[in-house]
Amino acid sequence: MEERVLMAAGAAPRQVDFYFDPVSPYVWLAARALDRLEQAGGRVPVRVPLQVHVVPVLFAGLLKAHGNLGPAEVPAKRTYLFRDMMREAARRGLPFAGPPGHPFNPLTALRMCTALDGDAERRALALALIAACWERGEDISDAAVLARLADAAGFDGKGLLERAATPAVKQAVVAATDAAIAEGVFGVPTFRLDGELFWGGDRIEALLWRLDGGAIDEEQLRGFLARPPLAQRPR
């Protein structure tokens, strides 16, 4: 079928923010689709370049802000989570190993990604760490492992670890997490396109639909959200 949308000459790229924390296996699934998103382009009304901006945030901070537990903190959800990951990996033909233990502390990994100034560099390291964790079973809570993986990805692992330990970088992760919370982000992975959030590792089709001009009736949504609850559980 002939392509019905044209690339807009000289158009500024549309941006999709990708909020991630490598502690989530669904981040791994979503991260594998970033190239597909960019290849699809930002299609309204004509195809324009699309740029994915990766944003390291602390999942535990999101959970605390919204009063939630992580899936791995609920036994039934934890069992389902890893069954689902193995099922999805098998279905898609992807290698899956998983980290040595879960949950794990992702802070140093997040800080190392944050310590990189450029979007492309931050994305390259993030994807390398995510793949190492979930596809090869590397312990990315271990500083020595992180330094080795950063070196293998073409960065100065020792230097990044040192920058990651600085107050400025630590505060930058906190600030990014707080900003995400202010935008309504409650979990990872979350994509943000034109102010609209798409949560979960299986939201790529919804994003592509939105890029193609799909939209809901916002007035209907506001009306629905304004309806009072008919029941509430005690807390």
- Angstrom distance (rounded) from CA 43 to CA 210: 9
From 47, 52, 16, 13, select the one nearest 193 (Cα to Cα).
16
- Angstrom distance (rounded) from CA 37 to CA 52: 8
Percent of the chain with pLDDT over 90: 82
Single pTM value for the model: 0.92
Determine the longest span between alpha carbons in the chain, in angstroms: 57
**Residue 134: CATH number of its domain:** 3.40.30.10
Residue 109 placed within a domain: yes
Strand order in the sheet with 190-193: 50-56, 14-20, 190-193, 196-199
Residue 89 placed within a domain: yes
Residue 231 placed within a domain: no
From first CA to last CA, the distance across the chain in angstroms is 55
Q: Are strands 14-20 and 50-56 parallel, antiparallel or unpaired?
A: parallel
Residue 193 placed within a domain: yes
What pLDDT sits at residue 50? 85
Domain containing residue 46: 14-215
- Our count of domains for the chain comes to 1
Residue 77 placed within a domain: yes
Residue 88 placed within a domain: yes
Which residue carries 């230097």 as its tokens? 159
What pLDDT sits at residue 6? 46
Residue 166 placed within a domain: yes
Q: Is 45 exposed, middle or buried (0-12, 13-18, 19+ CB in 10 A)?
A: exposed
Residue 93 placed within a domain: yes
Q: How high is the mean pLDDT of the chain?
A: 92
pLDDT along the chain (235 residues), means of 10: 46 87 97 89 69 96 97 96 96 96 97 96 98 98 98 98 98 98 98 95 90 93 96 90
Question: C-alpha distances in angstroms, 33 versus 27, 38, 70, 131, 212?
Answer: 10, 9, 23, 13, 17
- Angstrom distance (rounded) from CA 38 to CA 131: 19
